[in-house]
Amino acid sequence: MELLLARGQAKAAAAELEAVDRRLTPRGIQNPSRCPRRLHLARAVAAEDPARAREPAEEAVRRARAFGAASGIGQALRVAAEVASPQDRPALLEEAVEVLSASPAAHEPALAPAAPGEERGDAELLLRAVLAARACGADGLVATATTALLARGGALPCGSVPGAAPATTR
């Protein structure tokens, strides 16, 4: 399903995700951290029907909060922000950043500050995204966040070279 989304086959992905939801919901599989089908469904339908995309994203946030894992809540909030109305987006992104700062996960805390950092031109958030992305090896995000940071007049830490691996003791 994620592959269908990555290939731009949103309608096929949405159909598969809806079928998965029909099979798993009666079985009680509701944790969006375990099976993020609602988050993927929100992304799949967002371009054609933004209002329809909000419902599964909001449900995923409710479910994630019920399960209580910071990484799951933060991921759900970040995706909900992707499909939210423009006036709701900033609050969701800010909450995602806050929640994910307490998460032991590495990739989601790197993703979370990148979006509001780019939207607001916030160099501090973009720097956080760059450093977190480097720490978890998310090279694509490092490049994107570094470009956004430098374009907004931000600076990388002393001795940092965009795209370079962190220094080692050797």
pLDDT band at 162 (very low <50, low <70, confident <90, very high): low
Name the residue among 99, 104, 91, 45 with its Cα closest to residue 75. Answer: 99
> What pLDDT score does 167 carry?
44
Measured distance CA(52)–CA(38) in Å, rounded? 11
pLDDT in tens, 64-123: 999 999 999 999 999 999 999 999 999 999 999 899 888 877 777 777 788 888 888 888
Tell me the average pLDDT across 41-48: 94
Determine the distance from the C-alpha atom of residue 5 to the mean position of all C-alpha atoms in its chain, rounded to a whole number. Answer: 15
Name the residue among 143, 151, 114 with its Cα closest to residue 129. Answer: 114
Per-residue CA distances from 58 to 23, 44, 77, 150 (Å): 20, 15, 8, 34
Location of structure tokens 């419902």: 55
> What pLDDT score does 159 carry?
53
Residue 20 half-sphere exposure toward CB, CA atoms < 13 A:
18
Judge whether residue 139 has pLDDT over 60.
yes
This prediction has a pTM of 0.77
pLDDT averaged over every residue in the chain = 86
